[in-house]
């Protein structure tokens, strides 16, 4: 992620983040064995956004902010572990998921452990009641988003319902990272709100691009099969658009309604989506949210503002 180069966050501090992540999951041999693969790889977007926003004014103590950065990544990882259980996913980032390797019962507990470890780090860091409350609301909203998604599997959402779901599952997380960074950096309420709005728009764009990659990405890069969201019953923006404009929309609707479909039918669905303007349509929507993110940025340290602008460009242009 080249945007980090402009931020002033040193390579040494990024290495310390990785080391602290590793140290957070070595409590016993099984935790180390089961959790270490989970924290390897990934974009680290959430802790990076927090670290950037935490440096919005003057340089802040790394020792003070690293535990919260680690906690944010652990919460994200825990949510992925639970997502994989609900979706019966076999692979994540190209490696076997916890539920595939150990079974759903152990995987649930691994996810719970990561949540608990995150809040332990926050408590030990003495960040105050406001930070603890914000993180509690974050986890609550992640659960609400997952419940909403699970209850709507194989159902075609309206555009408003789609946006509500991705707001709860993704946008609120990125906005929380930015908000917490602004708070620990000592920004005033208006400036913190600006960073929060930036993070929310960034999160909406991030999820739209993520949903786009499920149909237009390269499997070797994304680490998952094309159409995997559709196969698990999660109906996303590219499908919503295709059902509006495709001559084959009835075929696609039949595939969705079948629920348990063969891979050949998923491949057909992917081809139907790719034959429409879904890619352009979704990209334009993502770019509009990225523009909103840029407008929301407050007057903060120039190097950090530049890095956040570059982070927005990364989100909309990424291929993984």
**What is the per-residue pLDDT across 221-266, written as a single tens digit (0 to 9) for each?**
887 889 999 999 999 999 999 999 999 999 999 999 998 899 999 9
pLDDT digits (tens, 9 = 90+) for 162-204: 999 999 999 999 999 999 999 999 999 999 999 999 999 999 9
**How much is the pLDDT for 1?**
55
Structure pTM?
Answer: 0.94
Nearest to 167 by CA among 145, 143, 195, 193: 145
**How much is the pLDDT for 203?**
98
**How much is the pLDDT for 13?**
82
- Write down the domain spans for the chain: 2-317
**In the predicted structure, residue 22 carries a pLDDT above the cut 80:** yes
pLDDT class for 215, splitting at 50, 70, 90?
very high
- Fold adopted by 2-317: Farnesyl Diphosphate Synthase (1.10.600)
**CB hemisphere CA count around 297 (13 angstroms):** 25
Please provide the average confidence, as pLDDT, over all residues in the chain: 94
Burial annotation 241-258 (CB, 10 A radius, 16+ → b, else e): bbbeebebeeebeebbee
**How much is the pLDDT for 92?**
85
**How much is the pLDDT for 89?**
85
**How much is the pLDDT for 2?**
54
């Amino acid at each position: 992620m080249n945007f980090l180069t402009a931020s002033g966050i040193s390579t040494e501090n990024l290495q310390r983040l990785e080391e602290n992540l590793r140290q957070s999951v070595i409590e016993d041999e099984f935790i180390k064995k089961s959790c270490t693969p989970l924290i390897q790889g990934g974009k680290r977007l959430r802790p990076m956004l927090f670290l950037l926003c935490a440096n919005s004014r003057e340089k802040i103590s790394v020792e003070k902010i690293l535990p919260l950065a680690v906690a944010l990544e652990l919460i994200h990882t825990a949510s992925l572990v639970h997502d994989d259980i609900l979706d019966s996913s076999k692979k994540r980032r190209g490696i076997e998921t916890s539920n595939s390797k150990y079974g759903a019962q152990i995987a649930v507990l691994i996810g719970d452990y990561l949540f608990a470890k995150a809040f332990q780090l926050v408590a030990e860091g003495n960040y105050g009641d406001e930070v603890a409350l914000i993180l509690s609301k974050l986890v609550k909203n992640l659960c609400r988003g997952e419940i909403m998604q699970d209850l709507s599997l194989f159902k075609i959402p309206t555009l408003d319902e789609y946006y509500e779901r991705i707001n709860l599952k993704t946008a609120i997380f990125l906005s929380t990272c930015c908000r917490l960074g602004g708070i620990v950096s000592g920004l005033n309420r208006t400036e913190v709100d600006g960073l929060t709005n930036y993070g929310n728009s960034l999160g909406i764009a991030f999820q739209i691009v993520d949903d786009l990659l499920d149909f237009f990405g390269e499997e070797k890069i994304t680490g998952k099969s094309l159409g995997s969201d559709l196969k698990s019953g999660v109906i996303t923006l590219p499908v919503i658009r295709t059902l509006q404009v495709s001559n084959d929309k009835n075929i696609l609707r039949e595939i969705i309604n079948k629920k348990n479909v063969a891979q050949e039918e998923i491949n057909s669905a992917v081809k139907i989506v790719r034959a429409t303007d879904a890619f352009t349509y979704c990209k334009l929507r993502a770019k509009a949210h990225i523009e909103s993110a840029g407008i929301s940025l407050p007057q903060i340290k120039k190097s950090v503002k530049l890095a956040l602008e570059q982070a927005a460009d990364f989100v909309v242009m990424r291929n993984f």
